[in-house]
A and B are shown apart, each in its own frame.
Chain A
Amino acid sequence: EVQLVQSGAEVKKPGESLKISCKGSGYSFTSYWIGWVRQMPGKGLEWMGIIYPGDSDTRYSPSFQGQVTISADKSISTAYLQWSSLKASDTAMYYCARLETFEYYFDYWGQGTLVTVSS
């Protein structure tokens, strides 16, 4: 069974750093891209970026380029999303999702990680 399990909710202060994780299981982790999607409170879905764990090839949405860093450790089948200096506007639910190889849709999703940034 394909599963993506994300790390737990985080409460941080503005200016702090954060790294959240997404662990894949039940499939070949290095053979599928993993994407990150933001959902701000009460809002829609926004694609942030995507990584291929096999070689760490990474693409970012222009809206998020330079704002976050996406990485992966294939030895432990885990992808990461990190911030070096959080802002209140980073408060959101963040989902990881596996990208289907040929038609580029997200077929499996993690449960989401809620990040709250507040002073």
Chain B
Amino acid sequence: EIVLTQSPGTLSLSPGERATLSCRASQSVSSSYLAWYQQKPGQAPRLLIYGASSRATGIPDRFSGSGSGTDFTLTISRLEPEDFAVYYCQQYGSSSWTFGQGTKVEIK
């Protein structure tokens, strides 16, 4: 099973700042099968990025994804108040799906 490790666990930033979230896989992941989700308190997760770098429908362009192999990054170029949330990466491989443990982006 591929393990995804996200860092940092918590990111304390101010609105307007840039957020860089990391997702590292225990073995190589196909870029096609790497996604990112946002979850706010009391809500279901929401798809942000799929295929490592493609934005889902309706997702603002301040969100971007990059990476390949074992290292992937979610970048939020300028944080808006509604972006403070928990973010998860997710991969598919060998008929199995795994999520990272999440990164919380909190207001500094």
Contact = CB atoms under 8 A, between A and B. Distances in A.
Contacts, number: 63
Given A109-B45, A110-B44, A104 B33 contact: yes
Interface residues of B, number: 24
A118 to B, nearest CB: 21
B101 A44 contact: yes
A111 B35 contact: no
Interface residues of A, number: 23
A109 B92 CA distance: 17
Nearest to A106: B47
A24 interface: no
Interface string B41-81: 00011110011000010000000000000000000000000
Contacts of B98: 47
A53 interface: no
- Interface centre among A50, A59, A104, by most chain B C-beta atoms within 10 angstroms, is A104
A95 B51 contact: no
Contacts of B97: 35, 47, 50, 61, 104
B33 A103 contact: yes
A100 interface: yes
